């Protein structure tokens, strides 16, 4: 891999890395879940358990990213995550044995952490070393694109193969298209900073970090409920059967342009006010499907969710990454532990509530309440405009 990569190559490589590690290793589960349940008898509670195991993998990866200081190892682990993403998708097709699924969902979660934290940290660090604007909006196009790829890919493979295991294998094969640029255009290994700079890099007060961690926990709760169950929620409405993939694709289509918009909003309003706005709009998008079973409410909720979760993630990670410029990925990982904790807890609670009541409405109202608590925490922080 050359160290003389062009800027567009590093950015496109990072985007493809996100499509692979998040869009497929994580998000392929969402549009493929209804067929998996239909053909194998997987229950709602078990599906929620698999989603929780996936996020246990994610939080394990975040712990590793928060612990590892050596930038060379961070680069190696990101590289390993690209390979493992392909294997974690293909591995789901091997058997219907629950431990097999649990293993691959856990490893898929590890891959998600490498893409979101190590990949984003490498790209942000590279942008800052190049003297470019330290924002992650363009990079996180990969999240929205990953959702679109998983939705349209799942729809496409379902037209060609009806067997659930063939669909998983086909999605893994499709991942090769993104693996090639992600691998060859990885950000170069960053220079090792002097120890003194590493120790003094992060100027984050304990109160600020704890408050951000609390609000990011709420964001993780809101994110994972929609990420896991959007398709299932739509498919359960009798008038909307067959429209689940459309709703999921809309999430991704809304997310892609939103990354640019949220960077602009933050420059105009400041980071904290921009985050409050994103939280408020996401809360409304969560409530819409609980208020009405109409297609308009389902699609409106999907659009709102797609347009807001991306802003919350991008603004939060860029904000904390700028405060630790010599190892942004490590600072992002520490904050992400709370996001990951919510992603382990929320699917279990939501899956159990849905199985007990036969509907996801209670879980959606609970999610809205958690999001409002996150907003209350954010509102206690002083607003900060982007430096420079």
Q: Do 183 and 79 contact (CB within 8 A), yes or no?
A: yes
Q: pLDDT at position 131, please?
A: 67
Question: Confidence band (pLDDT; 50, 70, 90) for 326?
Answer: low
What is the reported pLDDT for 181? 94
Please check the confidence at residue 324 and state whether its pLDDT lies above 80.
Answer: no
Question: Which residues neighbour 140 within 8 Å (Cβ) at sequence distance 6 or greater?
Answer: 18, 120, 259, 310, 313, 314
pLDDT (tens digit, 9 = 90+) per residue, 16-41? 999 999 989 988 888 888 888 888 88
Check residue 252 and give its pLDDT.
78
Helix axes 271-291, 244-269, angle to 10 degrees: 150
**What pLDDT, on the 0 to 100 scale, is given for residue 276?**
93
pLDDT tops 90 at residue 164: no
Residue 160 has pLDDT above 80, yes or no: yes
Ordered by where they begin, the domains of the chain are: 7-184+205-378 (1.20.1250.20)
State percent of the chain over pLDDT 70: 85
H or E segment and range at residue 294:
none
Predicted local confidence at residue 298, as pLDDT: 75
> Is residue 321 a contact partner of residue 315, using CB atoms and an 8 Å limit?
no
pLDDT category at 319 given cuts 50, 70, 90 is: confident
Convert the pLDDT of each residue in 339-376 to its tens digit: 878 877 888 888 788 788 777 778 888 888 999 999 99
Q: Rg (Cα) of the chain, in Å, rounded?
A: 19
pTM for this model (two decimals): 0.76
Instruction: Name the average pLDDT for the chain.
Output: 81
The DSSP annotation for 3-29 comes to S---HHHHHHHHHHHHIIIIIITTTTH
Across residues 224-237, what is the average pLDDT?
68
Q: Residue 320's pLDDT band (boundaries 50, 70, 90)?
A: confident
Q: How confident is the model at residue 386 (pLDDT cuts 50, 70, 90)?
A: very low
Q: Give per-residue pLDDT as tens, 101-137.
A: 999 999 999 999 888 888 888 887 777 777 666 566 6
Percent of the chain with pLDDT over 90: 19
Give the pLDDT score at 229.
67
From the CB of residue 130, how many other CB atoms can be counted at a distance below 10 Å?
Answer: 9
**Alpha-carbon gap, residue 370 to 283, rounded angstroms:** 9
The pLDDT of residue 240 is above 70: no
Q: Give the torsion sign (CA, 368, 106, 248, 12).
A: positive
As given in the structure block, the two tokens for residue 360 are 């996801």
List the structure tokens of 355. Answer: 């199985």
Whose structure tokens read 């970090």?
A: 209
User: What confidence tens digit (pLDDT) does each residue in 45-86 have?
Assistant: 888 888 888 878 988 888 888 788 777 888 899 999 999 999
Please report the pLDDT score of residue 31 as a whole number. 81
Residue 383 has pLDDT above 70, yes or no: no
- Among 88-97, 125-134, 285-294, the minimum mean pLDDT is found in 125-134
What integer pLDDT is reported at residue 200 of this predicted model? 43
Asked whether 171 and 87 are in contact (CB, 8 A), the reply is no
DSSP, collapsed to helix, strand or coil, labels residue 347 as helix
Q: What is the pLDDT of residue 6?
A: 78
Going by C-beta distance under 8 Å and a sequence separation of 6 or more, which residues neighbour residue 347? 48, 49, 51, 52, 55, 224, 225, 228, 229
Cβ neighbours of residue 345 closer than 8 Å, sequence gap 6 or more: 52, 221
The Cα 127–Cα 373 span in angstroms is 34
Per-residue model confidence (pLDDT) at position 363: 82
pLDDT 10s digits, 182-192: 999 988 877 76
């Amino acid at each position: 891999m050359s160290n003389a990569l062009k800027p567009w190559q590093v950015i496109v490589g990072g985007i493809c890395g996100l499509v692979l590690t998040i869009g497929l290793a994580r998000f392929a589960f969402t549009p493929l879940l209804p067929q998996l349940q239909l053909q194998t008898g997987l229950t709602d509670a078990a599906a929620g358990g698999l989603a929780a195991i996936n996020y246990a993998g994610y939080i394990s990866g975040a712990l590793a990213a928060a612990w590892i200081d050596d930038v060379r190892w961070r680069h190696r682990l990101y590289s390993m995550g690209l390979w493992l993403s392909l294997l974690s998708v293909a591995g789901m097709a091997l058997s219907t044995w629950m431990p097999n699924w649990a293993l691959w969902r856990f490893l898929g979660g590890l891959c998600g952490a490498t893409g979101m934290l190590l990949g984003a940290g490498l790209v942000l660090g590279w942008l800052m070393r190049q003297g470019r604007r330290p924002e992650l909006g363009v990079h996180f196009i990969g999240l929205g694109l990953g959702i679109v790829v998983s939705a349209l890919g799942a729809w496409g493979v379902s037209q060609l193969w009806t067997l659930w295991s063939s669909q998983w294998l086909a999605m893994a094969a499709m991942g090769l298209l993104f693996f090639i640029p992600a691998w060859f255009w990885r950000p170069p290994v960053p220079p090792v900073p002097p120890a003194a700079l590493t120790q003094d890099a992060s100027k984050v007060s304990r109160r600020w970090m704890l408050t951000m961690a609390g609000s990011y926990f709420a964001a993780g709760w809101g994110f994972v409920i929609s990420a896991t169950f959007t398709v299932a929620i739509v498919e359960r409405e009798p008038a909307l059967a067959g429209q689940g993939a459309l709703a999921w694709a809309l999430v991704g289509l809304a997310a892609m342009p939103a990354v640019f918009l949220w960077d602009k909003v933050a420059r105009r309003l400041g980071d904290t006010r921009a985050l409050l706005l994103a939280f408020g709009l996401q809360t409304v998008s969560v409530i819409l499907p609980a208020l009405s079973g109409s297609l308009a409410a389902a699609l409106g909720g999907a659009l709102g969710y797609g347009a807001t979760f991306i802003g919350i993630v991008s603004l939060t990670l860029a904000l904390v990454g700028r405060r630790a410029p010599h190892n942004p990925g490590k600072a992002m990982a520490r904050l992400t532990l709370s996001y990951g904790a919510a992603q382990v807890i929320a699917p279990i609670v939501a899956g159990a509530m849905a199985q007990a009541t036969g509907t996801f409405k209670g879980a959606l109202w609970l999610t809205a309440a958690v999001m409002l608590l996150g907003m209350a925490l954010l509102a206690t922080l002083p607003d900060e405009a982007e430096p420079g």
